[in-house]
Amino acid sequence: MAEKSPIIISGGGIGGMAAAMVLAKDGHAVTVLEQATEFGEIGAGIQLGPNIFKMFEYLGLTDVINKVVFFPEGLGMNDVRTGEKVIRVPLGDVARAVYGFPYGVIYRADLHQVFLDACRALPNATLRTNARVESYEQSADGVRVHLAGGEVVEGQALIAADGMWSKIREAVVGDGKPRVSGHIAYRAVLKREDVSEHLWSNDVTLWGGEKTHLVHYPLRRGELFNMVAVFHSNKYDEGWNTFGDTTELNERFAEACPQVKELLAKIETWKMWVLCDREPVKNWTDRRVTLLGDAAHPMLQYLAQGAGQAIEDAVVLREALRFTKGDIQDAFQKYQKARYLRTGRVQLTARFYGDIYHASGVQRELRNLMFQGGKESAGFAGLKWMYDGIEPSKLFQ
C-alpha cells in the first residue's frame, strides 16, 4: 500500500471534521466519508465551556469562532414550578478569571461550518458525501473500507466518528445498542423578534423540576433564541430530526410557572430526540481502527460536552500521532489511554446532573444546597476538573 494512503474518517459531523482538519494540517492525507447527501449539522444550540475555547485557541480558530458565538452574561437555574431562583453564576470576566477562557453558546451548524470551511481549504483533505460505510477489514499495513454500493476505499487507518449508533463501534467494542436514558428532548429555535422582552434573557437559563426541565439562551450574536425542553418519557426513536408531540410536552409541563408555559407556547413545531448514552469503556481501538466522539464515549447532554469532548479527542489524536512520528497503531493506543478516564468521568457526571436537574423531595433540597454553597458555584458547580481542559503539549512527555 502506498506510503501516502489516507487516514479515512467515517462521519462528517463536528468530531469527524475536527479530526480531519487537525490531521490534514499536520500533513496527513485525509478522506472523510459522510453518508448524507451533503455536509451539515442539525440546527440546534450547544454550550461551549472554557475547555473548548482552550482548544479553539490551540487550533487557531478563536477569531472565526468569536464571529458566530454568543457570550451569555450568566449561567442560572430556576425552579420550574415556583419560578424561584436556585442559583446564578456570572460568566464573562468570571469564567476568564477562573479558567483563562470564556463560556459561550453557538448554533451547532455554525460550529460545524467553521471546521468544514477549514477542511475545504486544505488540499490534502478529501470530503465525500453519499458514502455510507458498511464494513471494513484491516491488514498489517492498512484498512479497506466497504461502502454501500460496493465501492472499496483503501487507507492506512480508519477513525470512526459516526456517532451514537456507530457500526464500526459494534465491530470494535461489540456492546450492542445505546443505553436509553428514559429522557426525551424537544428543541426549537426562534428569531429574536419573536421573543417578548419579558421572556428574553442574555443568560443560559435552566428551569429545573421533577422529571422535567427547560433551558434557553441566545444564539448567533443574539439574533436567535434556542430552547430545549426535556422530560421523562418511554418513547424511543433513533435520530435527532423527529417531530415531537406537543400534547405530551404540554402535559409534562402542566404545573410549570407562567413564564415557562408562555415560553413553551411560542413554539408551534418542535423537533425531538431520545437521550441515550453508553457505559464508559477502556478500549475503543483495534489496531488501525479507533473511535472518536460519540462513537467512543456518547454522553447525555446535561454537561453540554458532547461536541467539546470530540474536539478534545481530535487534538489528542493529533498529539499522539506527532509523538509516535506517525506510528498509527501506537498512536491510537496512546490516544485512547489519554482519553478514556476523562471522557468516562464526563459520561457518568452527566448522568448525575440529569438526576440533579430533575430532582424532587430530598434530592431537590440537596441540589439547592450544593448550588448555593458558595464554593461550588464559584467553580461552576464543582466542574473545574472539566473546564480546566487538557494541555496538549504535556500529553505525551
| Pairing assessment for the beta strands 30-33 and 125-128 based on DSSP bridges | parallel
For 234-255, how does the pLDDT look when each residue is reduced to its tens digit (9 = 90+)? 665 554 456 667 788 888 899 9
pTM reported for the whole predicted model: 0.92
Where do the domains of the chain lie?
Answer: 7-177+278-390
- What is the average pLDDT across 207-233? 91
Per-residue pLDDT reduced to its tens digit, 21-51: 999 999 999 999 999 999 987 768 999 999 9
Contact at 8 Å (CB) between 68 and 106? yes
Report which of residues 174 and 381 the model is more confident about.
174
Q: How many CB atoms lie within 10 A of CB 72?
A: 23
Classify residue 210 as exposed, middle or buried by CB count within 10 Å of its CB (0-12, 13-18, 19+).
Answer: middle
The CATH H-level superfamily of 7-177+278-390 is FAD/NAD(P)-binding domain (3.50.50.60)
Q: Which residues pair with 76 in a beta bridge?
A: 88, 205
Q: ∠ at Cα 302 (94, 248), nearest 5°?
A: 130
User: pLDDT at position 233, please?
Assistant: 78
DSSP class of 220: G
C-alpha cell at 104: 459561550
pLDDT greater at residue 378 or residue 354: 354
pLDDT, tens digit (0-9, with 9 covering 90-100), for 166-176: 999 999 999 99
Tell me the pLDDT band of 380, cut-offs 50, 70 and 90.
low
Residues ≥6 apart with Cβ < 8 Å to 26? 318, 321, 322
Model confidence at 373, in pLDDT bands (50, 70, 90)? Answer: low
> How many Cα neighbours within 13 Å face the side chain of 359?
20
Cell of 376: 461550588
Q: What is the pLDDT of residue 221?
A: 87
At 141-150, the pLDDT tens digits run 999 999 999 9
DSSP β-ladder status, 212-219 and 143-147: unpaired
Distance CA 342, CA 347 (A): 9
Whole-angstrom Cα distance, residue 367 to residue 277? Answer: 23
Residue at 114: amino acid letter:
V
